């Protein structure tokens, strides 16, 4: 994998780049839909390709538990398993271990946890986290990090950050020789000194990309943006930067303005299944009775396949009737909205006018 920096916006820190992987090129900034269990919920791979999805994120934690990375490997790897021939990024499993499982015990060695599916006990070490991702065959792997809840004291955040660094070092050593890329993850909660130390020591290890972790976990938005601002100068310009688990369309714009290249979030897909649909004028909640006989599309300015064909009235009917097609059509629309937002972001950077989209986003206050 290598990253090509194409151009920089003169008035912000926004960057336009290109990430070359074994499964093809990813234009950046990029939004990665989440395919937790080796499927983006309710989408076929064909539909994702029609949406011009360039890269997916899959969750190692889920695939480790079911069907198991060895099973996936014996079936030819994750790409073949799920019928997706474009790039895949996998997380390390750490975040889900900390958020989904019954946590049993965390030591310097790794983390022992109980499966949220059946209560079975497992142990995840930094080395195993890398091995799982190598078995899955993802194009971009993530180090195992210690995921701290918000808020945390400086003392706890420092301890956690240092453990993450130790694990990063073990992941880095274990990764040596693998063809998959491995990204480091900057931690340190909301403390600038810890964030700086984390970033500098990760950069000293030398990763082909860097993520900012531990954000969008409950802290106020301005604080999230501030942390990105503070971390960015310590990340090498020639490497991609990935803001994990973020966010709203406005978050994408704000983070791109601060030098971030990559995003993933369940928001477009999860919100779709809950009938929350993005539009250029804010969101609509499709179940509302005011849409019962509304013949208009979700968003008259939207170019997605759903807005070309279906009325809000039909989409409301499907949602109320609890039909699977509701999730499908809503997901197509919301993913299109996110990917269209990213395409607009790229264009504004190419024209060196990113401040315009930033101003516009802040003025409308949408999302």
Interaction site with a second copy (CB under 8 A): 37-39, 41-46, 62, 66-67, 71, 74-76, 81-83, 292-293, 295, 305, 309-311, 313-314, 316-318, 320-321, 323-325, 327-329
In contact, 311 and 294? CB cutoff 8 Å: yes
Contacts of 344 (CB under 8 A, 6+ apart): 357
Token pair listed for 137: 């065959």
The least CB distance from residue 262 to a second copy, in Å, is 25
Q: How far apart are CA 86 and CA 354, in angstroms?
A: 28
- 200 versus 293: smaller Cβ distance to a second copy: 293
Reference 122, options 132, 111, 106, 130; nearest CA is 111
- Chain centroid to CA 149: how far? 18
Q: What is the largest CA-CA distance in the chain?
A: 61
- 82 versus 182: smaller Cβ distance to a second copy: 82
- In 137-191, which ranges are continuous DSSP H helix? 154-175
**Residues with catalytic roles:** 91, 264
Q: What is the DSSP letter of 75?
A: T
The least CB distance from residue 268 to a second copy, in Å, is 15
The least CB distance from residue 327 to a second copy, in Å, is 6
The least CB distance from residue 117 to a second copy, in Å, is 9
3-state secondary structure at position 128: helix
The least CB distance from residue 38 to a second copy, in Å, is 7
- 125 versus 330: smaller Cβ distance to a second copy: 330
Q: Helix axis angle, 249-257 relative to 354-364, nearest 10°?
A: 140
- 82 versus 181: smaller Cβ distance to a second copy: 82
The least CB distance from residue 72 to a second copy, in Å, is 9
- Chain centroid to CA 280: how far? 22
The least CB distance from residue 360 to a second copy, in Å, is 33
In contact, 25 and 19? CB cutoff 8 Å: yes
- 85 versus 156: smaller Cβ distance to a second copy: 85
- 39 versus 115: smaller Cβ distance to a second copy: 39
In contact, 317 and 324? CB cutoff 8 Å: no
Instruction: Check the CA dihedral 31-127-39-326 and report its sign.
Output: negative
Q: What is the DSSP letter of 104?
A: E
Residue 237 Rama label (left phi>0; alpha psi -120 to 50; beta): alpha
With residue 268 as reference, give the H or E element that holds it: helix 267-273
In contact, 15 and 8? CB cutoff 8 Å: yes
């Amino acid at each position: 994998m290598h990253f090509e920096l194409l151009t920089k916006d003169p008035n912000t820190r926004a960057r336009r780049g290109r990430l070359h992987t074994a499964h093809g090129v990813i234009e950046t900034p990029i939004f990665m839909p989440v395919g937790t269990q080796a499927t983006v919920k309710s989408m076929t791979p064909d539909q994702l390709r029609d949406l011009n999805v360039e890269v997916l994120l899959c969750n190692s934690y889920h695939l480790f538990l079911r069907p198991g990375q060895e099973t996936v490997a014996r079936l030819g790897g994750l790409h073949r398993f799920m019928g997706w021939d474009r790039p895949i990024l996998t997380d390390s499993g750490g975040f889900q271990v900390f958020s989904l499982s019954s946590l049993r015990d965390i030591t310097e060695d790794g983390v022992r946890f109980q499966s949220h599916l059946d209560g079975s006990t497992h142990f995840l070490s930094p080395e195993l986290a890398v091995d799982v991702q190598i078995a899955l065959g993802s194009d971009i792997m993530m180090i195992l990090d210690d995921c701290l809840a918000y808020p945390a004291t400086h003392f706890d955040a420092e301890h956690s950050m240092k453990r993450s660094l130790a694990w990063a070092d073990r992941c880095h050593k274990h990764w040596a020789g693998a063809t998959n890329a491995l990204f480091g993850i900057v931690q340190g909660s909301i403390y600038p000194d810890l964030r700086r130390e984390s970033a500098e020591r990760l950069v000293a290890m030398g990763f082909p990309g860097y993520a900012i972790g531990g954000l969008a976990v409950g802290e106020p938005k301005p604080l999230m943006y501030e942390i990105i601002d503070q971390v960015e100068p310590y990340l090498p310009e020639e490497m991609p930067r990935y803001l994990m688990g973020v966010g709203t369309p406005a978050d994408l714009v704000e983070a791109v303005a601060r030098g971030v290249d990559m995003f993933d979030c369940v928001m477009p897909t999860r919100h779709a299944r809950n009938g929350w649909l993005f539009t250029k004028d804010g969101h609509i909640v499709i179940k509302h009775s005011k849409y019962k006989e509304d013949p208009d599309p979700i968003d008259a300015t939207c170019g997605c396949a759903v807005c070309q064909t279906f009325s809000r009235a039909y989409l409301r009917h499907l949602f109320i009737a609890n039909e699977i097609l509701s999730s499908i059509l809503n997901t197509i629309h919301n993913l299109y909205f996110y990917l269209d937002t990213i395409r607009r972001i790229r264009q504004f950077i190419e024209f060196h006018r990113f401040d315009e989209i930033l101003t516009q986003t802040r003025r409308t206050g949408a999302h």
